[in-house]
Amino acid sequence: MAAPGAGVPLRVVSYNIHSQRDDTAALAAVVRAAAPDVVVVQEGPRRFRWRQKSAALAESFGLVVAAGGLPALGNLLLTSLRVRVTASRCQRFPLTPGRHLRGAAYADCVVGRGARFTVAGSHLSTDPAERPAQAELFARGLADAPWPVIAGADLNEGPDGPAWATVAAGRTDAAVATDRADRLTFSCGNPSRRIDALFVDPRITVVDYDVVDTPETRRASDHFPVLVDLLLPPTD
């Protein structure tokens, strides 16, 4: 585990919520119990009335919508009122015929007394042939961010995959930083893979990391949530 230094604390959850097809009361309870400042959602609302559904999801978590939704193909960024969002943008990856559209969401934020960061989220393809190109586009988006990056993603492959390596390059894998890379994130019914990750700029200190495995998380989705405590460097 990285030793905490001077900085601004931030709690982040990255969570594939399985399109809210499971126990939504358990889902809300899981996130509220974590008390995060930021939630990076994969498989959030992306179809009919997605704005209202995204706002309702955020409200159930006690948060507000920062970015994403349909323009980011279901990648959704939510924040507490402690976090101020200064800019946001969405990215769509090129469509492979016969496959699902994929994308990413980004939000530039400030918390505390001038600690600035960019939070991003993505959900890469289940097809190993198209994942590497999507990972490259996501990595470029992260490289273009104006502030230290926090990136949560369902990569649909493990740490030995090429897409994972592309996104991880030059960034800290929060699980590795805390010696908890053995914590599996998928599936809740039969945990066998670590395909969900949180990567951060090396200037950000990883204080703690957990994959939350409880009776509620097993009812809430087919993925376990990744919960990470960080210390951000002051940037003002």
Within 13 A of 213's CA, how many CA atoms are on the CB side? 11
Average pLDDT over residues 202-224: 98
pLDDT tens by residue, 79-116: 999 999 999 999 999 988 778 889 999 999 999 988 99
Say if 1 falls within a structural domain.
no
234: pLDDT confidence band, cut at 50, 70 and 90? confident
Provide the 8-state DSSP code for 152: E
Residue 166: which CATH number? Answer: 3.60.10.10
Predicted pLDDT at 44: 97
The pLDDT value recorded for residue 99 is 81
Instruction: State residue 236's pLDDT score.
Output: 59
The DSSP 8-state label assigned to residue 90 in this structure reads E
- 45-87 pLDDT, tens per residue? 999 999 999 999 999 999 999 999 999 999 999 999 999 999 9
- Average of per-residue pLDDT values in the chain: 95
The count of structural domains within the chain is: 1
- Residue 2 counted as domain residue: no
Domain assignment of residue 192, yes or no:
yes
Domain that holds residue 184: 8-232
Residues 6+ away with beta carbon under 8 Å from 61? 28, 31, 32, 39, 78
Query: What's the pTM?
Result: 0.95
pLDDT at 169 over 60: yes
3 part of a folded domain: no
